[in-house]
């Protein structure tokens, strides 16, 4: 279960710094955006979200090149970085988070194992990358991703 108090802390921290927030989500399917928007006052910072579950949408909407996907795979720091960086432009947001991963139940040949997740935070100062391996159920993985991201945003922006 998502801790909405953490989401409120993120909103407060970004608002105090006059920063806007956006998300580009694959495996989380909009869960991060939904969690942020569940908190009153989210509109002071949250610009929007791209939920690009299908591979073709990652190239069309997220700006991820086919070459990057071919070379590194959909679940990679390179794809997560590209999603977050391009998301800053598309969403016109100061801080954009991204999520790509394999929540299961199966692993395709040559693909990331079930539970592998790559996340990124893009700002004007660069990109923070996170790779995690979870041994949880599908929806627990999705929730854990949001929780990890909220914790990281708090660590970066809350003073």
9-28 per-position pLDDT tens digit? 999 999 999 999 999 999 99
The rounded distance, in Å, linking the Cα atoms of 119 and 121 is 7
Beta carbons within 10 angstroms of residue 151's beta carbon: 14
72-110 per-position pLDDT tens digit? 999 999 999 999 999 999 999 999 999 999 998 887 666
Domain range list for the chain:
4-157
Structure letter (DSSP) for residue 112: P
Confidence band for 61, pLDDT divided at 50, 70 and 90: confident
Specify the 3-state DSSP secondary structure of 101.
Answer: strand
pLDDT score at 87: 97
Class of domain 4-157: alpha beta
pTM for the full model?
Answer: 0.95
To which H or E segment does residue 129 belong? strand 126-133
């Amino acid at each position: 279960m998502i801790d909405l108090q953490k989401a409120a802390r993120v909103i407060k921290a970004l608002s105090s710094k006059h920063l806007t927030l956006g998300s580009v989500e694959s495996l989380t399917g909009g869960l991060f955006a939904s969690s942020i928007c569940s908190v009153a006052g989210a509109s002071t910072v949250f610009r929007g979200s791209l939920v690009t579950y299908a591979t073709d949408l990652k190239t069309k909407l997220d700006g991820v090149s086919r070459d990057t996907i071919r070379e590194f795979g959909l679940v990679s720091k390179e794809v997560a970085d590209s999603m977050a960086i391009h998301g800053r432009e598309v969403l016109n947001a100061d801080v954009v988070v991204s999520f790509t991963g394999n929540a299961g139940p199966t692993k395709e040949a040559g693909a990331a194992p079930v539970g592998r997740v790559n996340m990124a935070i893009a700002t004007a100062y660069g990109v923070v990358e996170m790779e995690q391996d979870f041994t949880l159920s599908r929806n627990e993985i999705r929730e854990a991703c949001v929780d990890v991201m909220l914790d990281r945003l708090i660590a970066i922006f809350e003073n």
